[in-house]
Chain A
């Protein structure tokens, strides 16, 4: 039942005579008009004015609708008791009693329960959009089990993504390597989506309006990645008052404050800082130091310069620092790791909407990244590898709807960097996909192995103009999107030896969509994509300055069925042809790194998704896939590091009365490949056993299955809202193998199991 606050400024005798009971009112049939009834309707918990709410008095003889500020004024009501009814499509019905008195203006503020604004939508379903795209709304995601309410972690539940070990955040999309999928925030590239490989997202979910996964076959607005694209769109800060939240759980604390200043300006500021370092020592063994710290921030300013112009200024960044000291279980020396990675971004965005429906958006940005920085001490040996990158970028897009059947899109995508590599490490450098190595591919520096130094500076400038036409024929039943992107990549090294290389890379792409009926649509796309080698790979000491861009061709075809207005089913098949992949040289005269590796990825996926219906939403996604690589001509094909044949996800959430909501998620995934150890010898100098590995990724871990549940309880007060939640991962404590560890002499392998039953309890207060 809604809460009503009545404001009476004066008390007069007449009112006292008229007020006592409803029965007495009936005894005085004299109708006396009172002062106006002035009211406003707001949402409970966030105080948002509710527009277009029907206000009905008594039997509905007097009605009015709230204005944009949620206000209403009813004149000429008779003195006495009335029941005021509030009705609207987005609110729960509310009925309030009010007494009107002569010469006594009555003001009422009503807080109503606003229905959950689930927008369980798959963006890109309209005929004039990208053919392969998954978008889930942040409100929906917040209740998915296993994500701790983190919007950006929910992307891992979509089809096509490999399951990340330890529920981490790696983005292996449709069998592509980890670095092949690019992440954009408001159109600007960011180096990492998650803190510490998946713990939390680096952009506060509260500022995110949508998260879009483009697993392949995406359009010409994006490029430079052989895998997929993840797009984060932040929202404009709210301008309807001051709002915010504070949240705390065992992992971190976060908060947001946002609001409007005047009619045109709004701001939003969010932060997050880790707290888990205070709890971890209680779970760790002696002689072990593990000190993770992270924080991130976002500051967004929005200015509505005119009805046709929006200006945004967005500063955001993320910082992860980790110090680890651990005992080598094979009897080696004590290892110490110091890792510090971060990025900072500043972007300005101007969007102009022309009278004819055209739009122009330009986004210059700048930033500084240290995407990787690791210092390692093993005995007297010290090693480090630090990548630093000063970046600047410009993205400009012009959309022009020429007619109902024709649309033009053109733009420019430019990114420049000044990259520095400072490294002192073993000659093999960092682990690469395809390497043999210890658990999860990581091999600690070996003090008895060769140590080399390099300091490299590389300037990169990548510019890509692009155009696309969208042609809708036969009453938009057939949509054809021919596209072209001309990617030009340049690399200039200034130290230690200068080099310069460039490549002009045409990237034609085509998407077609056929609407067979109002229920069934077919879609297909093919496109060429290129990706620059990792800039550190241009090191003359650890890589090859002559590397050239890698290439992929994506082929995608699918069908979409709208079985009911809220139930969508879509299935698609895909094939990726990967060429000129950077691999290690193996011949005596080969450079340390060279192009020439090839790959192929093929598979299919299906997603059946129920939007909010009778308080329930959920989906089932299934992917069957094979991802293979051949590093050198003549080599046998091998599977990719995260090749997962079957990926099944079932999730659902149900809203119960009284502010309760429960959800669950079940996953079944084929185990990851790993490289087995076939034998080992004892290395006297390093007093540890050295493994000898078999063929890369020739063994596979057992399959993974896990059930997560989540329960929320929301307490709604007039001015704020409190949510308590418990998110329990692995409810039946499944022992899923995430890797293989060995006895000191490598004779006894054992599985390293993933996270056990893990409850996360937290609270979130919003206002």
Chain B
């Protein structure tokens, strides 16, 4: 009998037993130091290209945050080599520091990048280390590297449909919230039904060779984070409704509640939007 059968039994037990909505919302409740995401611009680059890196790091305790960037140059299996994440620093090449940093993609070979993932891409793992006065956090952002073109595509423009390098998605607005910089007034117990509205070109076509449906569109996924309240689901589809209920960890009246919305496509493209609530 395979272990998978046991897993399925375990799923039943977990679902019937203790897997509650509150459990699922924990990942979206921000308290203390937290790396919410990162962005590379552009999110798909060739060796020699200059890439701007941005880390979305918050500390609800308000301390100074130091961010350092390193590239993992050990051979990858798609994910970062375990040697780059064991805390030893082996295999890491420093790229810079600060919440925003730029670097030039070095020459890379196929052995370092490893085999392709489900979207036919290869990646350079970039290690993000964030430290606050009383905490630290680690994350890895994998930058999609274009060292060869998918079958039927060209490495350089002009591109056929499904062959262009990836671009970051972008969030135009979050309905029904006001734009960033303008607080949204809220009250205890209120539930906000929100939708992240992406720009029309956020979900791009791309090609997955050797599959029954080789041309697919980016599947946009939205993560929701807040310093108070609860979300029933995390994450949700790109334009699905997300509900935030102001029912826990609320600040005193007049205090603010931060909301961060992070969008992902399938190939490492990311975007982030920030909104503020004022509790009355």
Interface residues, chain A, with chain B CB atoms under 8 Å away: 165-166, 168-171, 178-179, 192, 194, 196-198, 280, 283-285, 287-288, 290, 292, 322, 324, 326-327, 329-331, 333, 337, 339, 372, 374, 379-383, 426-428, 430-431, 439-442, 446-453, 588, 679, 681-685, 687, 690, 692, 738-739, 741, 743-745, 752-756
List A contacts of B26 (CB < 8 A).
743-744
Among B4, B87, B208, B262, the one with the most A-chain Cβ atoms within 10 Å of its Cβ is B4
**Contact at B78–A692, with CB atoms within 8 Å?**
no
- Inter-chain CA distance A324–B270, complex, in Å, is 29
Task: Tell me if B85 is interfacial: C-beta within 8 Å of chain A.
Answer: yes
A199 nearest CB neighbor, chain B only: B9
Known pairs A166-B10, A442-B6, A451-B117; list 18 more (Cβ under 8 Å): A165-B6, A168-B5, A178-B3, A326-B15, A331-B234, A333-B221, A337-B8, A427-B77, A446-B79, A449-B78, A449-B79, A588-B75, A683-B139, A684-B270, A692-B86, A752-B13, A752-B18, A756-B17
Option from A339, A448, A588, A681 in Cβ contact (under 8 Å) with B78:
A448
Q: How far is the CA of A287 from the CA of B266 in the complex (A)?
A: 22
Contact of B117 among A165, A449, A745 (CB under 8 A): A449
Beta-carbon nearest neighbor of A753 in chain B: B17
Nearest 5 pairs of A and B residues by beta carbon: A197-B5, A450-B115, A381-B118, A744-B27, A331-B27
B202 proximal to A (CB < 8 A): no
Partner of B6 from A197, A380, A450, A692 at Cβ < 8 Å: A197
Closest to A437 in B: B3
Is B190 in the interface zone, CB < 8 Å from A?
Answer: no
Residue of A nearest to B217 (CB): A380
Chain B 2-31: CB-based contact to A (< 8 A → 1; otherwise 0): 111111111111111111110110111000
CB within 8 Å of A: which of B97-139?
Answer: 114-119, 123, 127-128, 137-139
| A-B contact list, 24 entries, CB within 8 Å | A170-B6, A171-B1, A197-B1, A283-B16, A287-B233, A288-B15, A322-B8, A327-B233, A329-B23, A331-B24, A331-B223, A331-B235, A374-B4, A383-B118, A430-B3, A441-B7, A446-B78, A449-B77, A451-B118, A683-B79, A684-B38, A684-B128, A687-B262, A739-B10
Partner of A327, one of B24, B37, B85, B262: B24
Tell which of A178, A287, A330, A745 touches B1, judged by Cβ atoms closer than 8 Å.
A178
- At the interface, yes or no: B167 with Cβ under 8 Å from chain A? no
Residues of A within 8 A of B19 (CB): 285, 329
| Residue of A with least CB distance to B130 | A682
The answer to whether A324 and B11 touch across the interface, beta carbons within 8 angstroms, is: yes
Q: How far is the CA of A420 from the CA of B216 in the complex (A)?
A: 29
Q: Which residues does chain B contribute within 8 Å of A426, judged by CB atoms?
A: 78
Partner of B11, one of A326, A447, A452, A453: A326
**Are B140 and A170 touching (Cβ within 8 A)?**
no
A186 to B: closest C-beta gap in Å: 21
**Which chain B residues in 21-66 approach chain A with CB under 8 Å?**
21, 23-24, 26-28, 35, 37-38
**Would you call B235 and A333 a contact (CB within 8 A)?**
yes
Q: Are B9 and A448 touching (Cβ within 8 A)? A: no
A285–B123 CB distance below 8 A = no
For this complex, into which size category does the number of interface residues on chain B fall? 35 or more
B6 and A330 contacting across the interface, CB-CB below 8 Å: no
| Most-contacted residue by chain B among A322, A337, A451 (CB, 10 A) | A451
Which positions in B face A, CB cutoff 8 Å?
1-21, 23-24, 26-28, 35, 37-38, 75, 77-79, 82, 85-87, 114-119, 123, 127-128, 137-142, 208, 210-211, 216, 219, 221, 223, 233-235, 262, 264, 266, 268, 270
When A285-B20, A439-B10, A448-B123 are in contact, do A681 and B219 touch as well, CB less than 8 Å? Answer: no
The CA of A322 and the CA of B8, in the complex, are separated in Å by: 9
By the criterion CB–CB under 8 Å, are B27 and A330 in contact?
yes
CA distance A380 to B114 in the complex (A): 20
Partner of A197, one of B9, B14, B115: B9
B residues less than 8 Å from A738 (CB atoms): 10, 13
- Contact status of A168 and B140, CB under 8 A, knowing A329-B23, A448-B78: no
Chain A residues with CB below 8 A from B142, complex form = 448, 683-685
Q: Give Cα A222–Cα B11 distance, bound, in whole angstroms.
A: 36
Interface centre among A165, A327, A372, A685 (most CB of B within 10 A): A685
Return A175 CB to nearest CB of chain B, in Å: 16
A682, B139: Cβ atoms under 8 Å? yes
**Residue contact B15 to A754, C-beta cutoff 8 Å:** no
Closest residue to B114 on the A side, CB-wise? A450
A717 to chain B, nearest CB (A): 38
Give the residues in chain A near B128, CB-CB below 8 Å.
Answer: 684
Let me know if A442 and B78 touch, CB within 8 A: no
The chain B residue with its CB closest to the CB of A681 is: B138
Nearest CB on B from A757, distance (A): 12
Residue contact A450 to B219, C-beta cutoff 8 Å: no
Q: Is the CB of B2 within 8 A of A687?
A: no
Q: For the complex formed, measure the closest distance between the CB of B230 and the CB atoms of chain A, giving whole angstroms.
A: 14
- Tell me whether A450 and B77 are in contact (CB under 8 A): yes
What is the CA–CA distance of A246 and B4 in the complex, to the nearest angstrom? Answer: 32
Q: Which of B7, B127, B216, B268 has the most CB of A within 10 A?
A: B7
Contact B10 A196 (CB under 8 A): no
